[in-house]
Structure 1
Amino acid sequence: MTSQPQKALGILGLEGGLAPGQLPPPRPGSVFNPATFDFPIIIETVEGAWADRVIPGDSALEPAYIAAARRLIERGAVAISGDCGFSIRHQAAVAASVKVPVAMSSLLLAPTLLRQIPADAKIAVLTADSTHCGEDLLDVDDPAERARVVIGGIEGGALWQNEMTRPPRPTSVAEIESDVAACVLRLREAHPEIAALLFECTMFPMVTPAIRRITGLPIYDTATLYRMTFAAVA
């Protein structure tokens, strides 16, 4: 009897200056570390998708996203997600191009999270660059609901500076945690009614456990999205 190929989650990766097929060094908690999940992941780099193009939004990347998604399907992906929450801009195009579930960004969770917390509470969206994370990326149209979402970013910090170079420079987990913790502190001081955090950046899951311990708040991130998406088809 012929064995069935193992199901895998396909990830549309950013350019990282690596050789074709080469993955970043595995780090604890990284969404690119196979040990982070109890299911296989496969990655296809989106040609030209450097962070300095994806974060501000470059519509010219759409064909490359679609092509990479189709390559993932050919390799056996049963669901597709994105590297970098700002790839949500290509959600509709990629979903229309393949016949498997597509979840390009943890930002897709924002409308759902608003319904998981009290009506007088807020969620905080923490992003790599708040200057490019506008209301159009959140799919929250009701002004009253939109007022319950606060956005903070770590632009200018170590991670942002390193990721905006070509190729990106490595950032230590300690540096990421420092940037994220400082941003969360600022947001909570300004908005004490924050009841949950939503992390946009794919690098943030490496510090999610630490920030969860510091804040005591529920935190949703890219790893959350990957697990949800794969569980739907596993």
Structure 2
Amino acid sequence: MKRGNLQTEADLAATFQVSPTAFAGYAIGIIAVDLIYPKVPGNVANATTFDFPVLYEVVDFEIEQLFEGSEQIKEQIISAAKKLEKQGVRAIVGACGYFGHFQEAVAEAVAIPVFLSSIIQVPIIKIGLKKEQKILTLVASGKDINEAFFCSSGADLSDCTICEIGALESFSSIRWGKTTLDNQKLSADLVEIVQKQLAESPEIGAILLECSDLPPYSYAIQQAAGLPVFDFNSLIHWVYYSVVQTRYYGHF
């Protein structure tokens, strides 16, 4: 049976209450900025990325405001989180690493778990590495990366080697909202930049992709680097399996 289906006679005999919302079954709520550009499978903003239903709530502001962590957009993000909570999701994530600016504010505003940024994974990645090893972290906007931003996600900037990919021409379709994307070129460019970083920094022991648009390229990056690659989807799947547990069946 699929996860979440009724599986036993006891389930069938159970008493259920009416759902307080128009829909049910969305465990993960995703806050996403209203941006128009090609969103290929693997992108957090493409629902076919996931083998479980997700519920999106759109916020409308300039992406640069999110990169900067502008206070002007905080209430809109909190409002989106509260709406997702009211619709019955069990946990909330963001669809951009820079939502991490608002991690604490949103977590305090709702009664369900909040994991807004892929940067949240830094401490758990680091604990699996040698003390001298670093996490190569690909980010969309290098100028907006600082210690305070990392701290907002419970992470330490010193654990990472930052590499900006926002200036890549092949990334410009995503960065500036163009209607066409050379997927093969972007994949090749990301692999090239990672290989260069690894050649220059042998202390790198793992790779983290900050941007929610980069998971489609995690496979190619891992094949080239031979290292663990963490991204938004590794975070979202981890969160999902914590809030939607399942029974196990078999022999022993």
Superposition TM-score, scaled by structure 2 size: 0.80
2:35 to 16, 22, 28: 16
Residue 21 of structure 1 is matched in structure 2 by none
Does the 8 A contact of 1:11 with 1:80 survive in 2?
yes
Structure 1 residue 32, shift from structure 2 partner: 2.8
Aligned residues: 222
Residue 130 of structure 1 is matched in structure 2 by 142
Secondary structure at 2:151 match in 1: coil
Asked whether 1:225 is paired with 2:247, we answer no
Report matched runs for 1:16-55 at 5 Å: 16-17=35-36, 27-48=40-61, 50-55=62-67
2:120 to 101, 108, 133: 108
Query: Structure 1 pair 52/92, CA: closer, same or farther in 2 (3 Å)?
Result: same
Gaps (5+ residues) in structure 2? 1-14, 245-252
Amino acid at match of 1:38: D
Residue 90 of structure 2 is matched in structure 1 by 78
Does the 8 A contact of 1:129 with 1:155 survive in 2?
yes
Q: Which has the larger radius of gyration?
A: 2
Does the 8 A contact of 2:97 with 2:118 survive in 1?
yes
Structure 1 residue 123, shift from structure 2 partner: 1.1
Amino acid at match of 1:155: G
Find the aligned partners of 1:75 and 1:26 in 2 and give their Cα distance: 25
Identity percentage over the alignment?
Answer: 27
Amino acid at match of 1:137: F
Secondary structure at 1:202 match in 2: coil
Residue 59 of structure 1 is matched in structure 2 by 71
Find the aligned partners of 1:172 and 1:135 in 2 and give their Cα distance: 33
Gaps (5+ residues) in structure 1? 18-23
Query: Structure 1 pair 26/151, CA: closer, same or farther in 2 (3 Å)?
Result: closer
Superposition TM-score, scaled by structure 1 size: 0.85
**More divergent stretch after superposition (59-68 vs 122-131):** 122-131
Amino acid at match of 1:233: V
